[in-house]
Amino acid sequence: MTSSIGMRWAVAGPFRTFHLGGGPDGLPHFIDHLGRAMETGLWPLLGNPTFDDATVALLTEQAREAFGDASVEQLAAERDRAQIALMRALGETPDTERARA
């Protein structure tokens, strides 16, 4: 967890992580693919949250506002660079840039 989702959430947060998890179609595909499982899993402990049409529309608009015209590929590359920088800072991966210098 600490070397995978923990680092991804540290550099991208859960919202961007879910958006990227939807692949080229972003957050709407993520919700379509995994939303029902999320609703029936631990969510009942939170009350009655659901991915109804209004909620999906709101989240989709918020994703557009948050990420603009950046493609999923561009956002993923940005996330990957930040995650590698974090791993280097924590000493979990060699700094290949310095090794070449």
Residues 70-76: what's their mean pLDDT? 93
- Indicate the angle between helix axes 53-67 and 26-40, nearest 10 degrees: 140
pLDDT tens sequence across 33-69: 999 888 888 788 888 888 999 999 999 999 999 999 8
Closest residue by Cα to residue 27 from 60, 53, 52: 60
Q: Tokens 């991804």: give the residue.
A: 8
pLDDT tens sequence across 85-99: 988 888 877 666 655
Backbone angles phi, psi at 76, to 5 degrees: -65, -40
Rounded CA separation 88/20 (Å):
23
Residue 101: predicted pLDDT: 54
Whether pTM > 0.85 for this model: the answer is no
More confident residue, 2 or 74: 74
